[in-house]
Amino acid sequence: MLKRFIPLRFILVFSTFLLTVLLYIDRACISAAKEDITRDLNFDLTDFGWVMAMFTLGYALFQTPSGKLADSRGPRTIITTIVALWSVLTALTGAAWNFVSMMIIRFLFGAGEAGAFPSLAKVVFNWFPVRERGIIQGINFSGSRLGAAFALPLVAWMLTLMGWRWTFVIFGCFGLLFSILWYLLFRNKPEQSKAISAEEKEYILSTRQQPSSSTKASLPFGRIISSRNMWMNMIQYICSNFTFYFTLTWMYPYLKERFALGGIEAGFYAMAPLVGGAVGNWFSGILVDAIYRRGKLKLSRRLPAIIGFILAGFGIIMMSMSDSPQASIIFLTIAIFGADMTLSPSWAFCIDIGKENAGAVSGTMNMAGNLGAFVTIIAFPYLLGWTGSHETFFYVCAILSVTAIIMWLFMDPDKSIDK
């Protein structure tokens, strides 16, 4: 009876939204646990920076391979496997006993999470009409921001109750439950599902993007990165991640230390930019689809992204000039709202040019973006040490936003990567 009243793809996008919430709760909780971990394991600021960076390095390096697996094996098996793997490693984070063990666990944790968004790109290609692509990507990425926002005060509270080790174990158990439910309920394509109505199946099959006759079953990595279109896409995504990853890694300790805030208070302040990012994803997704419905594919990708980078650069500079936690949070929220406006057009662009190889193409973009995030995490403490000021880091963020705008002016979603 349920399928007659609620389209199955709407239930599916709620499930992928929950997946991204879980993804970022597990990812962001280490930032909230910084003081407890550094105290118990005798880490200094740069040690902890490298711990967070090792996750991002593992996450970046395994993007393209996991995307290729999603293309060839299907997102049902791949998402089940990677959620189970990263959940075990989340729990094992609580068992780390020194710097080396923590580095290894977090690297493998990053590798485990790497396939999530490339696999979701394949889900979007298989299950959703092109006209819904923007808002679906916006909803999925908003879950990641809300997950991170929810994690910061939640973890701060859980740390007071049970300590950081058991906190990681509990989060790992939730992930294992999700992986089981995903395998039991999800199917790779609507054609394989018995729960979908005939009417919805016909609608999806007639309106989703079709592979071109020249699309290769497995696009070589060399072919992907030889594309000028792809290089511009990767550069702009590096610029976006450089700004956003500050919120996942250093924002919470930065706010807490700069304004002498308590742990839970800092957690609630730190929620605002991430919630702003979620709203930015929704707004951008709606804007992408609205412009696309007017028959303007290029503009539907370019305009939301360019507006987003303008807001990101403006907000981050104004944040660095603010002298109160309230003003800093307002401007940082504007910056992250803008940075996250760039995600829906970026991932839609990957599906546009990748088609059947959407997993591999989006994974390659995400690999590049997370190598940029790796630099972000390391750059923040080192730039502070070299210059004695946080402002240098924020100026770099603004310069990169301008660079990304230039990239978007030349990116072409009509030019398939297999041509």
CATH number of the domain residue 28 falls in: 1.20.1250.20
324 φ, ψ (degrees, to nearest 5) = -135, 155
> Is 413 inside a domain boundary?
no
For the ranges 105-114, 138-147, 315-324, 392-401, which has the lowest average pLDDT?
A: 138-147
Residue 212 has pLDDT above 60, yes or no: no
> Is 394 inside a domain boundary?
yes
> Is 71 inside a domain boundary?
yes
One-letter amino acid identity for 287? L
> Is 2 inside a domain boundary?
no
pLDDT in tens, 165-185: 999 999 899 999 999 999 999
pLDDT in tens, 18-75: 888 888 787 777 877 888 899 999 988 788 888 888 888 888 888 888 878 888 888 9
> Is 185 inside a domain boundary?
yes
Confidence tier at 1 by pLDDT (50, 70, 90): very low
> Is 200 inside a domain boundary?
yes
**What mean pLDDT comes out for the span 249-255?**
79
Do 347 and 117 form a contact (C-beta atoms < 8 A)? yes
Q: How far is CA 120 from CA 131, 140, 406, in A?
A: 17, 8, 28
> Is 417 inside a domain boundary?
no
**What mean pLDDT comes out for the span 262-269?**
75
pLDDT in tens, 389-412: 788 889 999 999 999 999 999 999
Distance CA 323, CA 393 (A): 17
Number of domains in the chain: 1
Q: Please enumerate, as own/partner, the contacts of 385-390 that have beta carbons within 8 Å and a separation of 24 or more.
A: 385/46, 390/254, 390/258, 390/320
Distance CA 407, CA 419 (A): 20
Structure confidence at residue 69 (pLDDT): 85
Angle between helices 325-341 and 133-185 (to 10 degrees): 90
Residue 418 has pLDDT above 70, yes or no: no
Burial track 145-168 (b if 16+ CB lie within 10 A, e otherwise)? bbbbbbbbbbbbebbeeeebbebb
**What mean pLDDT comes out for the span 111-123?**
86
> Is 201 inside a domain boundary?
yes
Question: Which position has the higher pLDDT, 392 or 305?
Answer: 305
Do 113 and 60 form a contact (C-beta atoms < 8 A)? no
The domain of 143 spans 7-408
For the ranges 18-22, 142-146, 196-200, which has the lowest average pLDDT?
A: 142-146
